């Protein structure tokens, strides 16, 4: 399988371990990722809360590049994923917007690119195929799969059921780990508020961590650089603000799958997390 890869800005910066793990694991599974050449930022929250045209035009440029190369796109970041899907929807359903965007872009988008989250791309390989690759089963590890918002909402762009998503749980279960049932799997972590209204964001993080721990999860798995950094690196600030003592490792789902496939923890960037996940993983890998 050959598919266009849109890493997004975070994966070049604070979430480089997600990029490492995504590339390594897909490669191991025989998926060829072709990075969209000269891709640009999707604009994220900054663009869509500021200007509607810009919020569509920024992702549109990436869609056009992929289309010209005849590639579909897989996206590891939930926010980029949702921006690309939303732009695709607007450009194919709203003529006025499509014309305006074509005007500033100097190129027309025909609407032929299919945009998938990395979760879908991995699931497409087949759960049985994934299971067959497991050499280091994560038996006994209790994982809380965290989807957050933009992978599953709004329903018009989401890649799974908005209220009870399953994709990540099923992927994680191929490693023989236990995906726990918990209530906060699709609650918002407030990443978009971390600069504008930090006290509110920290409260949301605190609730999610609390619920994960109460369910008995040893680690949280996620599929978004913004969720991961919000839930992982803010734990110190949460503990300070709420008098708690959380120390829950937050991993990217391909890191867990990679470990189960016997890939080296170092190559998967496991040593770059705020809360070190290696102790929790040693429980299972002896």
For the bound state, the minimum distance from the C-beta of residue 178 to another protein, rounded and expressed in Å, comes to 27
Tokens for 279, please give them.
Answer: 């102790």
For the bound state, the minimum distance from the C-beta of residue 103 to another protein, rounded and expressed in Å, comes to 8
Residue in 12, 271, 278, 25 with CA at minimum distance from that of residue 172:
25
Select 78 or 141, whichever has its Cβ closest to another protein: 78
| Helices (H) then strands (E): counts for the chain | 13, 8
What crossing angle do the helices spanning 78-93 and 225-233 adopt, rounded to 10°? 150
Select 258 or 269, whichever has its Cβ closest to another protein: 269
For the bound state, the minimum distance from the C-beta of residue 181 to another protein, rounded and expressed in Å, comes to 19
For the bound state, the minimum distance from the C-beta of residue 153 to another protein, rounded and expressed in Å, comes to 4
For the bound state, the minimum distance from the C-beta of residue 230 to another protein, rounded and expressed in Å, comes to 11
Q: Quick check: 241 and 198 in contact, CB under 8 A?
A: no
What is the rounded CA–CA span in Å between residue 41 and residue 193?
19
Select 57 or 113, whichever has its Cβ closest to another protein: 57
Q: What residues line the site for another protein (CB under 8 A)?
A: 9-10, 12-14, 16, 38-41, 43-54, 57-58, 61, 94, 100, 103-106, 149-150, 153-155, 162-163, 187-188, 190-193, 195-197, 199-201, 203-204, 233, 236, 271-272, 274
How many residues are given for the chain? Answer: 286
Select 100 or 124, whichever has its Cβ closest to another protein: 100
Q: Quick check: 119 and 253 in contact, CB under 8 A?
A: yes
* Cis preceding-peptide flag for 163 (omega within 30 of 0): no
Select 234 or 260, whichever has its Cβ closest to another protein: 234
């Amino acid at each position: 399988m050959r598919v266009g890869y849109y890493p997004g800005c975070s994966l070049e910066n604070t979430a480089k371990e997600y990029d490492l793990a995504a590339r390594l694991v897909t490669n191991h599974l025989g998926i060829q990722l072709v990075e969209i050449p000269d891709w640009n930022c999707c604009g994220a929250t900054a663009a869509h809360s500021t200007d509607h045209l810009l919020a569509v035009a920024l992702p549109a440029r990436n869609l056009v590049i992929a289309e010209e190369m005849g590639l579909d796109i897989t996206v590891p970041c939930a926010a980029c994923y949702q921006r690309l899907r939303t732009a695709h929807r607007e450009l194919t359903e709203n003529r006025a917007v499509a014309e305006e965007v074509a005007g500033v872009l100097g190129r027309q988008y025909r609407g032929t690119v299919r945009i998938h989250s990395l979760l879908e791309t991995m699931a497409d390989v087949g759960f049985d195929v994934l299971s067959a690759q497991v050499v280091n089963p994560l038996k006994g590890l209790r994982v809380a799969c965290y989807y957050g918002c933009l992978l599953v909402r709004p329903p018009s762009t989401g890649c799974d059921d908005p209220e009870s998503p399953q994709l990540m749980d099923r992927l994680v279960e191929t490693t023989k780990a236990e995906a726990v049932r918990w209530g906060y799997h699709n609650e918002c972590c407030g990443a978009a508020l971390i600069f504008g209204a930090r006290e509110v964001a920290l409260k949301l993080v605190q609730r999610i961590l609390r619920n994960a721990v109460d369910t008995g999860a040893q680690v949280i798995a996620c599929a978004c650089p913004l969720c991961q950094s919000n839930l992982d690196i803010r734990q110190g600030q949460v503990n300070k603000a709420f008098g708690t003592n959380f120390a829950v490792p937050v991993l990217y789902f391909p890191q867990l799958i990679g470990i189960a496939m016997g890939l080296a923890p170092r190559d998967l960037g496991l040593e770059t997390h705020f809360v070190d996940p290696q102790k929790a993983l040693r429980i299972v890998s002896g």
